[in-house]
Amino acid sequence: MKDSMNILVTLDSNYILPLKVMLKSMFYNNKNENFNIYLMHSSITDEEIKDLEEYIARDGHKLEVVYLDDEYFKDAPTLLHYTRAMYYRLLAFKFLPQDMDRILYLDPDTLVINPLRELYETDLTGYLYAAAYHDLIAVKEINRIRLMPYEIDAYYNSGILLMNLDLQRQAIDEKEIFEFVEKNHRKLIMPDQDILNCLYSKQIKTLDEKLYNYDARYYRYYKFMDDEWDMDRVIRATVIIHFCGKKKPWTKDYSGRFHALYKHYEKMALWD
Amino acid sequence: MKDSMNILVTLDSNYILPLKVMLKSMFYNNKNENFNIYLMHSSITDEEIKDLEEYIARDGHKLEVVYLDDEYFKDAPTLLHYTRAMYYRLLAFKFLPQDMDRILYLDPDTLVINPLRELYETDLTGYLYAAAYHDLIAVKEINRIRLMPYEIDAYYNSGILLMNLDLQRQAIDEKEIFEFVEKNHRKLIMPDQDILNCLYSKQIKTLDEKLYNYDARYYRYYKFMDDEWDMDRVIRATVIIHFCGKKKPWTKDYSGRFHALYKHYEKMALWD
């Protein structure tokens, strides 16, 4: 029997529906796996937790709740437009079981459409994380300039993060993170992602974005860059589709290549 | 226990892959049903039949093969660009078990994404068929003019046809069909559909196209006509999506709203 896989999610009540859709797609496309879903939160109600627990149990998996009192980060600097939840994924290693060696963090605006095992078992020796960056020249350049003097060769997306918890416990110092935020709060746009890139980018193993962080907005771009990456290939090979950007597929005005597929999983999540 | 549902398909070897995709979508979204799939053909190989039989049995359903020798229609008129297969669905009642009262004909360029039971049990008293027409003014007008003096109020699509076999055995005369084809062969574009509309359109019960013959090309049109028909509604309510037109979702150059969803079912059909 294979080890179960640890999945980390951090969210508030607004994201429970997308979380269920993401989880359903993951369970459906990983039928021979067992998942332990770690939910790190400060505001989800007991009722919502219970519902989620049952939802996950129905597919044979487990929910583990890590409640973070607002007290915990009370000395940490906050930003105008971000809550302390921005620290959750970066400091998760402190709150997860101390004998856990790895966990896969997943944003709830994703679909898992193929088996995760290969990603999960990525060799992380010497790396704090494995992550993908979106290789659009414009995006890279903007972030490189914005975050100078920090050297950003690639601006990693923090929506899908495989974590080497053992190494993080040794190498990541929360004080360093808090200091960084205090010093740079004016330039931070996506704070957790900015922190990840400015402080740890040299210790991130690069994942193939088309496999593990496929930006749903860029179908045409990926296909233009490599004609092999047509819809057939995406559906067969891509493991995680990421609905980046402001428009989300569970909202009314959305429109995009993967809309019907998203709604299909949403229906499974709500009805099955 | 519910009666099993009879499904009719007529195709040649080129359409076996799309047929499998259509069947997989139907099985997946009708988990509590039993299907008897009647395949009417003249050219599919024994090996292909065997493969299809196993494929269908894997989901617990049954394949029944109705082989039609070319001899059978040897006196029937043919058309330059159509084979005798154009008669199969119209004259199916002659070759199916004589005690069968109804069957649902489905084109292989469809997906069945919701339960079929309600469609299947449509009251057909007094009607030969139930079918939908695509309510675009341009299409209706072109066909009305093209097929004059036959009176065509609605030009029904013959890709999804619920058949009242009892009444057909009494009311449909193959000679009438052959005579019609001889007399009108110059104006026939889609012969089986033209025959259906010219000879039987008064005896067709109209189905809601958005539920039972949703033309995958017209998402924007349907939504424009009725804002309720967004993607959410389609995925939850539409039973049969029909990939009408020349561009098919299993070919390389296809692009469309339901492309990812089609490829999803194609993957299920080929891999699961």
pLDDT in tens, A217-261: 999 999 999 999 999 999 999 999 999 999 999 999 899 999 999
pLDDT of residue B84: 77
Task: Write down the pLDDT at residue B96.
Answer: 97
Question: What mean pLDDT do residues B42-58 have?
Answer: 96
Q: For residues A107 and A13, is the Cβ–Cβ distance under 8 A?
A: no
pLDDT digits (tens, 9 = 90+) for B79-117: 766 777 788 899 999 999 999 999 999 999 999 999 999
pLDDT at A39 over 80: yes
The minimum CA-CA distance between B264 and chain A, rounded to whole Å, is 6
d(Cα A23, Cα A33) in Å, to the nearest integer?
Answer: 13
CB contact under 8 Å between A261 and B260, yes or no, is yes
Residues on B contacting A at a C-beta cutoff of 8 Å? 113, 230-232, 234-236, 252, 254-255, 257-261, 263-264, 266-267
Of the candidates B204, B82, B200, B210, the residue with the CA atom closest to the CA atom of residue B134? B210
- B260 to A263: CB separation less than 8 angstroms, yes or no: no
Inter-residue contact B99 to B9 (CB < 8 Å)? no
Distance from CA of A260 to the nearest CA of B (A): 6
Mean pLDDT in residue range A57-64? 98
Cβ–Cβ below 8 Å for B113 and A264? yes
Strands B240-242 and B214-215: parallel
Q: How far is CA B142 from CA A91, B139, B148, B155, in A?
A: 66, 5, 10, 10
Q: What is the pLDDT of residue A93?
A: 96
- Do the beta carbons of residue B132 and residue B212 sit within 8 Å? yes
Give the residue from A17, A30, A112, A235 with the most B CB atoms within 10 Å of its CB, the best one to mutate: A235
Tokens of A235: 């559906």
Contact A234 B263 (CB under 8 A): yes
Q: Give the DSSP letter of residue A216.
A: G
Residue B75 has pLDDT above 80, yes or no: no
CA dihedral of A244, A248, A249, A254, whole degrees rounded to 10: -110
Nearest-angstrom CA–CA distance, A263 and A255? 11
Selected for mutation to probe chain A from B263, B268, B271 (highest A CB count within 10 Å) is: B263
Judged against a pLDDT cut of 90, whether residue A83 lies above it is answered with no
Q: In chain A, which residues have their Cβ closer than 8 Å to the Cβ of B254?
A: 231
Q: Is the pLDDT of residue B255 over 90?
A: yes
The predicted pLDDT at position A113 comes to 98
Q: What average pLDDT score do residues B242-268 get?
A: 96
Q: In the structure, what pLDDT confidence band is assigned to residue B272 with cuts at 50, 70 and 90?
A: low
pLDDT at position B221: 93
Q: Higher pLDDT residue, A151 or A180?
A: A180
Q: Which ranges of chain A would DSSP assign to H, the alpha helix?
A: 16-28, 46-58, 92-95, 117-120, 137-146, 165-171, 174-184, 191-200, 209-212, 219-225, 231-237, 259-271
Question: What pLDDT is attached to residue B1?
Answer: 61
Beta strand pairing call for A214-215 and B35-41: unpaired
Nearest CA in chain A to B250: A232
Q: Is the pLDDT of residue A79 over 80?
A: no
Please name the residue of chain B whose CA is at the shortest distance from the CA of residue A227.
B252
CB contact under 8 A, B264 and A232: no
> Does the CA dihedral B118-B120-B124-B130 come out positive or negative?
positive
Question: For residue B179, is pLDDT > 70?
Answer: yes
Kindly state the average pLDDT of the residues A164-192.
Answer: 89
Are A236 and B267 a contacting pair at CB < 8 A?
A: yes
Chain B residues in contact with A257 by the CB 8 A cut-off are: 259-260
Q: Quick one: tokens of B22?
A: 């259509």
The structure tokens 């359109």 sit at B201
Mean pLDDT of B63-89: 82
Q: Which residues of chain A are within 8 Å of residue B234 when distances are taken between CB atoms? A: 260, 263
